[in-house]
Structure 1
């Protein structure tokens, strides 16, 4: 999965977002993974509603971890330009050991997650779109349609990393909605929790995907702009 155009490698200082992205992914994983490393359901941050839910959740988390790490490497221009073979192999790991199995497991747990129907529908859409964008990205790379490949993988990247956005929005919506517990939600903590989870899941992935589409449209517009005479 690489672009074969002969271009000089982009200096790291021209891509100042790479280091913060790597740091953000590392910090997120350091916070999120420990409760699941011992395979103890009692430490899970999400209560398991059925017997199969916890092992599928752990599988989803494991595959998603692989996806996040390899996805960050995939968008590193220096690696793509200077080491295309590594880029291709890392891309295959992202697709087959990360995004595809993580999205399939995510689809399964979305159907049974204890966060209400609004959150369930959102997570089903997220899993299906992540799977579809990733498969399209792989297919277009195999067909050597690298422009299309890049666009699909940008979308896949946005959906993959949306879990970080999801955590941020969860805090935001909790702050906004909790004061309405006794009014809007009639004192029901369960209704409040489902509302926070539902809105969080939608904003968590929809906004990053919209930003990705805006960025792709802006980049396409710049390439089509006529050069000055």
Structure 2
């Protein structure tokens, strides 16, 4: 019992990831959102292959922004412990105004994304898993199975934040593959770009999800 009480009364500085996560999300959104705020397709960082692509992309970005902000709040221990009612309301916003509509729009965008079939398959799976983990997490909360709820929402969190990991991996793979443009890719920068995009989309969400599973297994072992 003492250990449980101590865990619930840890000061903010004993959880060193809270503020860096909030800062990371803020910096990412400040950098990523401006080209889409004016609803000008010419400013999009992703070329639209069809007429409907840009509106769906903006829809995905809008709902995903809500998901990222509310998801960061959801895993904030202070909010969860001191203001459980607000935690529940924020969770509903994350589920119904963030993750679910964002994953559905993301699934649609993935089908027509101009990054090749490898990236398309990855993004379709990402959207499907994000949707599934979020819905399952919500169902577990409704059933008051809060341990299972927490585990599914940790997975949903990892998939939600994988867009940040995606950007980091993009730089890594660009540095690794750029010297091979004249050999592996026969001088085709387009082929190299599609390879970078494909590998990046997979590592962007698979690695965070594996880390989340490792953390859940480790935490479960500690409690046992």
Using structure 1 for the length normalisation, give the TM-score: 0.94
CA offset digits 1:102-157 (Å, max 9, x no partner): 00000000000000000000000000000000000000000000000000000000
Query: What displacement does 1:222 show?
Result: 0.5
Matched residue, 1:213: 213
Name the residue aligned to 2:150. 150
Answer yes or no: is the 8 Å Cα contact 1:10–1:77 preserved in 2. no
- Distance of 1:214 and 1:58 partners within structure 2: 33
Deviations 1:172-196 (A, max 9, x none): 1011101111110011111111100
- 1:49-81: CA deviation from partner (whole Å, max 9, x where unpaired): 000000000000000000000000000011001
Rounded to whole Å, the distance in 2 between the matches of 1:28 and 1:168 is 11
Query: Which secondary structure state, in structure 1, belongs to the residue aligned with residue 51 of structure 2?
Result: coil
C-alpha contact 1:57 1:109 (8 A) present in aligned 2: yes
Q: What is the number of residues matched between the two proteins?
A: 220
Off by >6 Å, runs of 4+ in structure 1: none
Name the residue aligned to 2:183. Answer: 183
Partner of 1:68: 68
Q: Which structure is higher in helix share?
A: 2
Structure 1 gap segments, 5+ residues each: 225-229
**Secondary structure at the counterpart of residue 144 of structure 2:** coil
Q: Could you say what secondary structure the match of 2:187 adopts?
A: coil
CA distance in 1, matches of 2:152, 2:18: 20
Q: Which has the higher contact order (CA 8 A, sep 6+)?
A: 1
Structure 2 stretches lacking a partner, 5+ long: none
Provide the aligned C-alpha RMSD in A.
1.2
TM-score, length-normalised on structure 2? 0.96
